[in-house]
Structure 1
């Protein structure tokens, strides 16, 4: 049987987009003594979900495995700084200058410029990160859209690895959407991507094409589900073939008004 700590940690690590604070509030109310021992669960969640922190400048930066320096310290190549992170509150502090020690610094700067322009064009709001990784460069993007007043939240995450020897790009796109009005529905989907291109601008163009294609595939799939499988799950009309006027439901006489027969 799983321990209480591992069970609570699993809740945190599987929190839907934009709802970590809600999960944290539930954990605090149910098992307040466990919070202090769940630092690794918050760190795992933040790095896996590419959590966003605000810097002193007001700019955003990512928490990922690719820009980790130590347990709670990360760096940002766009602003040449390092910072510490409180994984529970997702807040940054102790910012310091941090120079990229990579022979590919020029390529990273070029990718930043091109990828920032492309992400601004295709996403209402997004945060990117470009980091050296062995003999490759990690190109990351996260775009969040939260609409709690409409009972849904969503996250788009892209991860690409540009191999500098072969000029090939491999990666994945992940989409996570949670809808929770009068129910609890969550969709998680992903797609692997393989590209071949050279030069920062060309790489970014190919990434944009791949992401546009995947979005179109998702749109077609949703249309098919709505008109096919989902539509077959329930009747559009009750067996009487008449719509129920819900505002009058309190005054209906079951047999006559709804069923069409005479009430007893």
Structure 2
């Protein structure tokens, strides 16, 4: 049973963006003989939601908020700095409840608020739909900055997610983090793009505007790298997968294709009688 639980947990933790519910449905179908197995996957659901920066709308709220280890209060509760609220989150159903007031206090409160303001301007300009958050961590000595953007198109058989996480140290001005892109395309096949780009920068001003500026520069650079990589794949590796010319090394004249004799004219040999 423990080995089965580990295998099923890996299915949950590897679920593509926007497809956790589909994975759970498949698990239920495959483990119908052990219906209680789903109830034992709480740790896997929690790990998935926190690592994927799952977003959820609070009851009565209009804007989604982020689920992560950096804004966890423990016992299944999380908080959001911008709305100054905390809430309970069900990792299996991905639903929020029990909203309460949670006013941020501490040495980094002003920096959190200024970073949220500057980050909001950047996100609105560069992402069609994204959620962001700033959270004090490590006993209020550092900030965690998160941006997550989801784009789901199941009718066209693809889903995608952009995740970026940065840790800022006000004492040194160091900004370290990573940008992850996860895209799943599954029409008549199963193709998945997974990337992980490390970021190391320095914020000389130590302000919220300075943090947002460095994040903007890092993400713009990575977007340009991705665009170049896609162009290279299209013109290189993908094109190499297709035969450019038939074995005769001559292009097919499609307007005459009806009159070709398959063996002689296309295959290059004498037609059999």
TM-score w.r.t. length of structure 2: 0.87
Aligned length: 259
Alignment of structure 1 residues 119-130 onto 2, 5 Å: 119-130=123-134
Contact 1:253/1:263 (CA < 8 Å) preserved in 2?
no
Aligned residue number for residue 52 of structure 2: 49
Deviation at 1:167, TM superposition (A): 1.6
Aligned residue number for residue 248 of structure 1: none
Partners of 1:22 and 1:220 lie apart in 2 by 33
Deviation at 1:58, TM superposition (A): 2.1
* In the alignment, structure 1 residue 93 sits paired with structure 2 residue 101: no
Partners of 2:21 and 2:262 lie apart in 1 by 45
Aligned residue number for residue 66 of structure 1: 70
Structure 1 unaligned blocks of 5 or more: 246-251
Partners of 1:244 and 1:107 lie apart in 2 by 68
Partners of 1:151 and 1:59 lie apart in 2 by 26
Structure 1 pair 223–70 and aligned structure 2 pair: CA distance change class (3 A): same
Flag the structure with larger Rg.
2
SS in 1 for 2:74: coil
Alignment of structure 1 residues 185-200 onto 2, 5 Å: 185-197=191-203, 198=205, 199-200=207-208
Aligned residue number for residue 7 of structure 1: 7
Partners of 1:118 and 1:110 lie apart in 2 by 13
Deviation at 1:117, TM superposition (A): 1.3
Structure 2 unaligned blocks of 5 or more: 255-259
SS in 1 for 2:199: strand
Partners of 2:106 and 2:93 lie apart in 1 by 31
TM-score w.r.t. length of structure 1: 0.90
Partners of 1:175 and 1:59 lie apart in 2 by 22
Structure 1 pair 3–239 and aligned structure 2 pair: CA distance change class (3 A): same
Aligned residue number for residue 232 of structure 2: 224
Deviation at 1:192, TM superposition (A): 0.9
Aligned residue number for residue 249 of structure 1: none
Residue of 166, 172, 179 corresponding to 2:185? 179
- Poorly superposed stretches of 4+, deviation over 3 Å: 236-245, 252-264
Alignment of structure 1 residues 76-155 onto 2, 5 Å: 76-134=80-138, 135-155=141-161
